[in-house]
Amino acid sequence: MRVTVRLFARLRDIAGATELTREIAAGATIRSVWQQLAGEYPELGPYERSISSAVNADYARMDQVLREGDEVAFLPPVSGGDDDQRRTR
């Protein structure tokens, strides 16, 4: 089955795309989609422990099982608001 993947901020820069489409097996989780992407784009790998994910614009856990047509979003650590103390990259 087919899902849409949305990437933001630096994740988008690494993959060079805002939106991707991927074929996944029935029963596949968000994590398995992430691992597939990290295989394609090794620079994503270090984000494994710091990303958040969402399905159809709601926060979701990485072990959530996906359904046909779902939109999965991967979000790097957020930095909205005003000034920040911590920074990387």
Partner 1 sequence: MPLLAIGPAPLELNALVAELGEQDGAAGAIVTFLGLVRRHNVGRRVRYLEYEAFEPLALKAFARIAGEMQERWPGARLALHHRVGRLETGEASVAIAVATAHRGEAYAGCRYAIERVKQIAPIWKREFFDGGDVWIEGATADPEDARARAEAERVACA
Q: 50's torsion region: left (phi>0), alpha (psi -120 to 50) or beta?
A: alpha
Strand, coil or helix: 21: strand
Interface with partner 1 (CB under 8 A), residue from 32, 36, 52, 64: 52
Could you give the string, one character per residue 7-46, with x where binding to partner 1 holds by CB under 8 A and - elsewhere?
A: -xxx--x---------------------------------
| Cβ–Cβ under 8 Å, residues 18 and 6 | yes
Nearest to partner 1 of 44, 51 (CB atom): 51
Could you give the string, one character per residue 62-81, with x where binding to partner 1 holds by CB under 8 A and - elsewhere?
A: -----------x-xxxxxxx
Indicate the Cα dihedral angle 10, 16, 22, 28, nearest 10°: -20
Binding residues vs partner 1 (CB under 8 A): 6, 8-10, 13, 50-52, 54, 57-59, 73, 75-84, 86-89
